[in-house]
Structure 1
Amino acid sequence: MSAGLEERGVGVAAEVFEEHRGLLFGVAYRMLGTVADAEDAVQDAWLRWSAADRADVADVKAYLVRIVTNIALDRLRSARAQRETYVGPWLPEPMLTSPDVAADAELAESVSMALLVVLETLSPLERAVFVLREVFGFPYAEIAEALDRSETSVRQLGTRARKHVEARRPRFSAGRRERRAVTERFFDAALGGDLNRLMEILAPDVALWTDGGGKARAARRVIHGADKVCRWLRGVSDDPYQGVQPEDMRVRRVELNGEPGLVFEGPAGPLCAVTAEVDATGRIGKVLLVVNPDKLRSVAEGRTLPT
C-alpha cells in the first residue's frame, strides 16, 4: 500500500516538474550557454525535486527555479575555469528556434548569440540576476531568496549587470526587419562568392569568431577587418573541410537563436553553424561560426529551443 502511494507521489512530482521543464531549461541555457550543460542542470534539478520533501513547497515554480539557478551557478563557476584553457574563441552553443521566437523581439533578443556572448563577460552571480530579472521578470525579492542574498545586494548586482550588458550590447540604427534583411544579404553574398558585395556589407572593423574547441579546423584567434574576414571566408569556401569536399556540402537557411542562420552539412551531419550581427551602421559587425562538433549536436538532432 505504501509503495503504491509512493509511486503515485513520484508520478505527481514528475508531472509537476514536466510543466516547468521548458522554463528550467531556458534559465539554465541562458546561464550556461550550452545545451548539454543546461540539460545536465535540469536533470540534477529533477533529482533534487524528486527526493525533496515537497509537502511544504508553496510556490513550485519559484522553488524549482531556485534549484536550477543554484545548480547552474555551481556549474558556471566550474565552466569559467575550464574556458580559460579552451582552444580558440569560445562561443555559446547555437539552437534552432521556431518562427514564433523570431517574431517575438524580446524573446529573440534574450536567446540571441550576441547577448549570450555578452553574458559570458558577467560574473556568475551577475549573470544569474540578469537572467532571472531582465529575461524572466522575477521580482528582486524572489531572486534574493533564490540566491540566498539580501535584496539590496541583488539589486546592486542587477544594476551592475544591466549597465555592463547595455554597454556591450550592439546598438542599432535600423529596425529588426531591416537588420534581418542585411544578414540575409550577407549570406547571399558569402554563398555566392561575391567579394565586392561582401566588402560593402561588412563593417570595416568586422570581427570573425570561429569556435572549434580544438576539435575542428578554426582560427585560433578572432579575425578583425573586412579584408581579412573576406579572405578567410573565401579560403574556407574553396577547400575541403573536415574531409568533406565543397560540392558534397549542403547549406540550409535556418533560424538560430531567434536570428537568421546557416547550417553547412556534410554526409555525416552538420559541419558549421553561422550567425551574424548587424552593428550600429547597418553593416555586419560580427560573424560567428561554430564548428566544434560537440556544439552542433542539438542542431543535428533538429531540437528547437523551448519557449
Structure 2
Amino acid sequence: MPLDPFLEPLVANLPPVPEQIDDFPAFRAQDAAGAAVMVEQFTEPGPPVRSRRTVTIPVNGGNIDLKIFYPEGDGPHPAHLYIHGGGWIAGTIHTPYIDITCQERCAGADCVVVTVEYRKAPEHQFPTGLNDCHAALMWMFDHADELGIQVDRVSVGGGSAGANLAAALCLKLRDENGPKLALQLLEVPALDLTLASPSMHRNATGYGLDLTTIEQLLPYYLPAPEDATQPYASPLLASDLSGLPPAYIMSAEYDPLCDDGQRYADRLNAAGVNATYSLQEGHIHVSSALTKVMPSARDWRTEMIAALNKANVGLSQ
C-alpha cells in the first residue's frame, strides 16, 4: 500500500545523522533530547506497572545498568529482555520512550521486563554489545527467584539494532547450550549487515532511515568490513538456523531493512523453526513509536503484545 499520508511530512523533517561524529557523548545526549521531544508529541504514555528499579551488574571490562519493570499481581511471572535500538552507537534505557516500551510489555503481557544498557560503539565495538546482552540475560536466569520469573517463559525482543542483537543472542545461546527461550520478538530488524536485501535499494532514501546512514553506522560498530559476514553480526548469514527459539518478526514496508525480516523468517521456517513474518504496510522504520497520532501504530503495538502473550500462554499449556 502507499506510504501512510500522516508520515509524509514527518519523513521530510526527521533529522539526519551527521556525516561525521566527532563527539559521541554529545551526539548521544542530543539524540536522547530529540527523542524525548518526539515522544511527547507522538507517543502515548505507558500503562501503569507495579514498580520499577535499576540495578548495576558486572560485565567483562566494566559494569552496565539494567532497568526492571514488575507487573501487578503475585509471581512468578514470565520474563522478557528488551534490547533498544540506536544504530549500535546511540540509545539508552534512561529515556521516556524505553520506559513506555517496557511498561507496555510489562502490563500488556503480564511479565517482568528487563532492559539492558549495553555499551555502545565505536568505544565498544562488536561483539561487546552482544556480550553485554548475554550477560544481562544470564543475570536474569541466575536471579530468577529474586525477580519472581518463570525460567521456562523467558523471551527476548528488540527493535532495529536491538533486534539484531536479540537475534544474535539467540544464536549465541544455542551455540553455547544456554537456556531455551520462549520467543524472539524482532521489530524492524537489521539482520544482514552486508546490506544485500533488495529493500536496501528499493527504500534507499526518502523514508527517514536512509541506506547512506546505515552504511555510515557500520564502520563504527564493526572492527573490520569482513565482520559483516559473521553470524553474530548478521544472523541471516548463519549457515545453520535450526534449534533457535520461535520468532515473530515485524518489518515496516518503507524501510531499507524491510526484506531482512522476510528473508530471516523464510530461512527460520526452512530450518524447522516456527517463524511468523508480519509486514506493517504503509509504515517506516520509526512508525511503532507514533501511538498517540496513528491508529495503525496502536495496531502494531496490539499485535506485538499479542505475540508475546501467545508465547507465554503456549508454554503454560
Measured against the shorter chain, the TM-score band is: under 0.3
* Larger strand proportion of the pair: 2
Q: Computing the radius of gyration over CA atoms, which structure comes out larger, 1 or 2?
A: 1
Structure with greater contact order relative to length (CA < 8 Å, sep ≥ 6): 1
Q: What TM-score do the two structures reach when normalised by structure 2? A: 0.25
* Larger helix proportion of the pair: 1
